[in-house]
Amino acid sequence: MVDPTSTATAIEFRGLSRHFGATRAVDNVSLAIEAGSVCGFVGPNGAGKTTAMRILSTLDLPTHGDALIDGMSVVLDADRVRPLVGFMPDSYGVYKNVRCHEYLDFFARAYGLVGRERERRVRQIMEFTGVAQIREKQMTALSKGMRQRLCLGRALIHDPKVLILDEPAAGLDPRARRELKDMVGELASQGKTLLISSHILAELAEMVTEICIIEQGRLRAHGRVDEIQRHVAPDQTIRVRLLDDPARLVTWLENRPAILEAQQESDHVRLRVPQGDDAENASLLREMIEQGFQVVEFTVQQKSLEDVFMHVTDGVVQ
Amino acid sequence: MTKAEAMAPQVGDEAREPRQSTLSHWFNPILVKEARQAASSPAFAGVLLTLIAALAGWTIFTVAMASPTGGWGRSLLLGYACILSFVMLVIVPWMAHQSMASELQGNTLELLMMSSISPGQVIRGKLHSVMAIAGTFFSAMAPCFAFGYLAGNVSLLQVLSFLATVLLASWFLSSGAIFLAALRRVSPLVVFFGLGLVQIAGGIAFGLPVWFLAQLESSTATWRWLHVEHPGVAISVVAMALAAISLFNAAGAASLTFPAANRSSPLRWRLLVLATTAMVFLVAMFEAFVFDDEPVVVLSVLFFIVWLGIGSLLVAERSQMSSRARRAFPASRLARIPIAWLIPGNATGYLFAISVVWAYSLVVAYLFRRPVLSQIYVIPLILFVSASYYTLFLGLTRFILVLLRRRTPRAGFGTSFCILAVLLVGGHFVGWACDFYSLYPFTQASFTMGGFLSWPRALEILLTTQTASLPMGGVPGSGPAFVPVLVGSLAALVVLLTLPAAAAQIFAPTTPVPHAVEVATLSRQPAKPTTDPFAD
Ligand SMILES: Nc1ncnc2c1ncn2[C@@H]1O[C@H](COP(=O)(O)OP(=O)(O)OP(=O)(O)O)[C@@H](O)[C@H]1O
Ligand SMILES: [Mg+2]
């Protein structure tokens, strides 16, 4: 478990840039991700997510700037960074004539694990990722979901502090996605720092503690999801359903200065209030009840991550 | 068991664990993986079965056709030699190439490079696993060779030396094949090494059985490479092969590493060892046999051509060391002086290349110091002029490349090789046009325009020694002393001009090792996009 008060930085970009000819795949990005957090990394196609993740995994070098893992530079200290990072790329190759447990065993050896420790680690990983049931299967014969599990297992084999997952949920069925989510939660609870890129925003939002939006190589937003939501949308919508006639509530609400708009929609009322904290919403609800309204439902509707994404990005594809 | 429990270390696991060979823990992981893959690969089983079938077929055929007067033992052995040569010199290197190429094409190498395995380990793992497979083939053939030895009237030394040579050649070719497969893109370097490799491969693949045939045919072996009387020659040949294997491995590992890493120093080390073994070979040959001048001239020309290629590679290096490379070198300037020639950079590379050439020239000149007339040492003079030309032209190539890079920073090895070629050919034409023969590098006085354009003549451009022999031929306008003095002093001038750049590379500042990140200075807010200080 990670000490919640600790502010150690696990991942840091310092003016990170990676240019491919005229394309600025990553363009002067600076950000820091604290140890123990789960950060969603989103952006349109070609935004530079994969490029940035590859640099973090020491598979590519920045054109300018640097990236640090646990305070060590991926440029200068690649050898010390590698044991700290587990990377699951969006596409990767498989070996012919290699069984699942042999694959994990191979990478355990590659990471320098020896003897009983290696065997134990391989078995733990197989149990954690659910590969144990298919341990004798050939790698080439695996389904997409199983292959993803195996690859996650490979990324975990050396017990890295930082996990970088590039579109881990792509191509998975709903059950597999849920299981992936559970695994991510489990890993986060062990204190690992995760950076996850995904286009499936609804599910990503359930996994992450913070989010980082990048477009055309530039950082558009970074912070806790609700902070960004608040920042992006100046107001919020509350849906209220009463047992009695909603029209009376609309009239009552219209006289209140804090309410921007109140509207009756069939059996409920939708009101727009300025983006505030939850205390104000609570006092509004208390006042309604004191006024004798029989409130059945009172829902603050946050902007979804998808709305935030659409708002922050311009939709320019590189 | 929940997942969290599964991840936590467990006690009592040991009891349930299957017993495994503890030896395998210490092997190169790649070797273990490849061996497992081969064990379950149909291709490997197929080759092994075909090999056994071929051996059995040949044995039955030869024994059945044997004449009662005997002598079939030799042809039996000869057939075995051909089969073994084919397997070891064609199939095994091809397997080596495939195992590396599939790693690159199958997109699996990156995952491997992220682990604690070094590129060198990857290359060596591939090579050793393929040699382990070769060992399987070898042991399948061992009983056959024992049978052939008993049946045929050959000496044990002949059989053993044949086997050793095939093994060494197979090892060499496999390392070359892995190197070629590891090159990520086709560059002039690929063409350069590829052509050379094909030549060597072809030579060895055909030469060995032919040689073995010659050994079997004549009861007194005329071919004395591995003769016991001259162990120095054999030892230096083996040393050269090992140095070349090591160079291939380092070059393969270098092509798997980022350009920002220091790829030059490991290569230079091995080049140095290879050049030294080549010189030792020459000395050993000189000690063992009486030589005419002609083989010496051919060997020198070969050496110079190879080093022209390596020289253009070295002067194509960047003049600035990357921060990664600088980190790897001692911070102390004093400590850098002893390793000055290994420090990456085009100027140190130039000095490195010409030093090797001059050392070689001195060794050869000393061995063949024979005056033609009472006062002229022909071979030393030829070597002096050749080495001076080499120094001059490679130095000019470096200067032109440095100037060119101000406009096109991407210019690399291919460009430097082209500049060198243009200089050589251009020098020839200018000399020819001005009727000034000292500018005729690498050519001969009897050239005519038509003759130059014909293909065999064009090849002779590279014959350094013929140029150098010009002054001795009494060419109008140049005396025997004039050309060496002119070319030698120009070469010395170019070397002098390079020295400041070399010093700058040797004493380049080191990259400081950063301490832990200063957390206080970090902001969780996105930084405002500032103007890029590095923008071109
Ligand atoms: N090796 C390369 N050579 C040239 N351009 C590249 C290379 N790799 C990436 N790019 C370019 O860099 C930009 C960013 O690509 P990247 O793969 O990082 O995007 P991404 O955010 O991962 O996109 P997606 O969501 O589609 O996976 C794209 O414009 C891409 O064309
Ligand atoms: Mg991507």
**Interchain proximity B514–A73, CB inside 8 Å:** yes
**Atom of ligand 1 lying closest to residue A44 CA:** 25
**Interchain proximity B108–A93, CB inside 8 Å:** yes
Beta-bridged to residue A138, according to DSSP, are A99
| Chain B residues with beta carbon closer than 8 angstroms to that of A93 | 106-108, 111
- Shortest CA gap B430–chain A (Å): 40
| Residues whose Cβ atom is located within 5 A of ion ligand 2 | A 50
- Confirm or reject CATH 3.40.50.300 for domain A9-230, answering yes or no: yes
Q: Of B463 and A168, which is predicted with more confidence?
A: A168
Q: Supply the DSSP string of B122-142, one letter for each residue.
A: HHHHHHHHHHHHHHHHHHHHH
CA geometry: angle at B523 spanning B518 and B528, to 5°? 125
Question: Tokens 């090494």 map to which residue?
Answer: B193
Q: Categorize the per-residue pLDDT at A7 as very low, low, confident or very high, splitting at 50, 70 and 90.
A: low
Please give the structure tokens belonging to residue B337. 């002086």
Q: Of A256 and B351, which is predicted with more confidence?
A: B351
User: Positive or negative, the Cα torsion across B376, B379, B380, B385?
Assistant: positive
Search chain B and give the residue with CA nearest A214: B526
Among protein residues, the one with the nearest Cα to ligand 1's atom 6 is: A20
pLDDT at A48 over 90: yes
Residue B534 Cα to ligand 2 midpoint, Å, equals 26
Determine contact: B12 vs chain A, CB below 8 A: no
Determine contact: B327 vs chain A, CB below 8 A: yes
Q: Is residue B235 part of a domain?
A: no
Q: Which of B5, B197, B194, B250 is nearest to B89 (CA)?
A: B197
Q: Which of A18, A41, A49 to mutate to test the pocket of ligand 1 (most atoms within 8 A of CB)?
A: A49
Q: How far apart are the C-alpha atoms of B223 and B220, rounded to whole Å?
A: 9
Q: How far apart are the C-alpha atoms of A257 and A288, rounded to whole Å?
A: 15
**Domain count within chain B:** 1
Determine contact: B518 vs chain A, CB below 8 A: no
B96 touches B182 (CB < 8 A): no
Residue A48 Cβ inside 6 Å of ligand 1? The answer reads yes
Q: Is residue B171 part of a domain?
A: no
Residue A100: per-residue pLDDT: 93
Among protein residues, the one with the nearest Cα to ligand 1's atom 12 is: A25
**Interchain proximity B7–A128, CB inside 8 Å:** yes
Domain residue ranges in chain A:
9-230, 235-301
| Chain B residues with beta carbon closer than 8 angstroms to that of A14 | none
Q: How far apart are the C-alpha atoms of B478 and B383, rounded to whole Å?
A: 18
Residue A159: per-residue pLDDT: 92
Residue of B258, B513, B524, B528 best to disrupt the A interface, most CBs of A under 10 A: B524
Domain boundaries, position B506: 291-512
Counting ligands in written order, the one closest to the CA of A214 is: 1
- The closest CB to that of B324, out of A76, A89, A98, belongs to A76
Q: How far apart are the C-alpha atoms of B441 and B438, rounded to whole Å?
A: 7
Q: Is residue B271 part of a domain?
A: no
- The alpha helices in B328-412, defined as continuous H runs, are 333-336, 346-367, 378-407
Q: Is residue B409 part of a domain?
A: yes
Residue A46 Cβ inside 6 Å of ligand 1? The answer reads yes
Q: Which of B514, B316, B300 is nearest to B390 (CA)?
A: B300
Residue B26 Cα to ligand 2 midpoint, Å, equals 37
* pLDDT tens profile A13-46: 999 999 998 899 999 999 999 999 999 999 999 9
Residue B26: per-residue pLDDT: 64
- The closest CB to that of B526, out of A112, A186, A221, belongs to A221
Residue A38: per-residue pLDDT: 94
Most distant pair of Cα atoms in chain B: their distance: 96
User: Positive or negative, the Cα torsion across A82, A83, A84, A85?
Assistant: positive
CATH class of segment(s) A235-301 = alpha beta
pTM for this prediction: 0.81
CA geometry: angle at A150 spanning A144 and A155, to 5°? 125
Among protein residues, the one with the nearest Cα to ligand 1's atom 16 is: A48
Gyration radius from chain B CA atoms = 28
Determine contact: B117 vs chain A, CB below 8 A: yes
**Atom of ligand 1 lying closest to residue A18 CA:** 12
Residue B116: per-residue pLDDT: 86
Counting ligands in written order, the one closest to the CA of A51 is: 1
Q: Which residues, at least 6 apart from B14, have a Cβ–Cβ distance to it below 8 Å?
A: A116
- Shortest CA gap B351–chain A (Å): 28
Counting ligands in written order, the one closest to the CA of A165 is: 2
Residue A45 Cα to ligand 2 midpoint, Å, equals 7
Question: Tokens 């050589």 map to which residue?
Answer: B424
- The closest CB to that of B527, out of A30, A76, A119, belongs to A30
Among protein residues, the one with the nearest Cα to ligand 1's atom 31 is: A46
Chain B residues 77-106 with a CB less than 8 Å from chain A: 102, 106
| Chain B residues with beta carbon closer than 8 angstroms to that of A218 | 529
Residue A63 Cβ inside 6 Å of ligand 1? The answer reads no
Search chain A and give the residue with CA nearest B535: A64
Please give the structure tokens belonging to residue B363. 């060794």
A128 touches A157 (CB < 8 A): no
Q: Is residue B89 part of a domain?
A: no
Per-residue pLDDT tens listing for chain B (536 residues): 444 444 444 434 433 334 444 555 567 888 888 888 888 888 888 989 999 999 999 888 888 877 666 667 777 888 888 888 888 888 898 899 888 888 888 888 888 888 888 899 999 999 999 999 999 998 888 888 888 888 777 777 778 878 888 888 889 889 988 988 888 665 556 656 665 666 565 566 556 655 665 665 555 544 444 455 677 877 888 898 899 899 999 999 998 888 778 888 999 999 999 999 988 988 888 887 777 766 676 677 778 878 888 899 899 988 888 888 887 788 788 888 888 888 999 999 999 999 999 999 999 888 887 766 656 676 777 778 778 888 988 999 999 999 999 998 888 888 898 898 888 777 666 655 555 544 444 444 433 333 333 333 434 444 444 454 444 443 333 444 566 777 788 889 999 999 999 998 888 887 655 443 333 333 333 333 333 333 33
Q: How far apart are the C-alpha atoms of B207 and B201, rounded to whole Å?
A: 10
Residue of A124, A156, A180 best to disrupt the B interface, most CBs of B under 10 A: A124
Residue B428: per-residue pLDDT: 62
Q: Which of A50, A61, A167 to mutate to test the pocket of ligand 1 (most atoms within 8 A of CB)?
A: A50
Among protein residues, the one with the nearest Cα to ligand 1's atom 24 is: A45
Counting ligands in written order, the one closest to the CA of A26 is: 1
Hey, what's the torsion of the CAs at B378, B379, B382, B386, to 10 degrees? -170
